[in-house]
Amino acid sequence: MDNYLDLLKLFLPDILVEHFDLTQSKQEGETLHLYFDEQNKPPIEYTSKILVSKGFHDEITVQDFPLRGKRVFLHIKRRRWTDKQTNDIVQRDWTLVAKGSRMTEEFADFLKEISRF
C-alpha cells in the first residue's frame, strides 16, 4: 500500500481517497484547494455490462475541515459511463457505497445529495 494514501486517509474521508484520484493541489494564501477526479472503475453492480467512460459531471466544490490553519476546499468531479447496449448513462450509486464504507455520516449525506443532480 502506498504511504501517501495512508497519510491522505488521516485527513480526508477514506472513500474520497479510495475512489478518486488527487489530480492537483493549489495553495492560495491561507486557502488550500484539492482537486479530485473519480477513478475510471465502473460500479460493481454493472460488471456484467459494457460501459464506456463519457467524462465527468460538473465539478462541485465542498469546504472541508481546516488543515494546519488553512481553509480547505475539495473540488470533486464524479465520472459517468454509457452502457454500450442501451445507451443509458450510468453513475456510481453513492448510497450503496456508503452502506459498506467507513466514511463519516456527513460525507455520506453530502454524496447522497450530489447524486440527485
- pLDDT tens, position by position, 29-50: 999 999 999 999 988 888 888 9
- CA angle 1/91/86 to nearest 5° reads 130
- Rounded to two decimals, the pTM is 0.75
- Going by pLDDT thresholds of 50, 70 and 90, the confidence category of residue 108 is low
- Going by pLDDT thresholds of 50, 70 and 90, the confidence category of residue 94 is low
Q: To the nearest whole percent, how much of the chain has pLDDT over 90?
A: 32
Give the SS3 label for residue 89.
Answer: strand
Would you state the pLDDT for residue 92?
81
Looking at the structure of the chain, the number of domains it has is 1
DSSP state of 42: -
60 lies in which domain range?
3-114
Distances (CA, A) of 43 to 6, 50, 57, 66, 100: 23, 12, 16, 31, 14
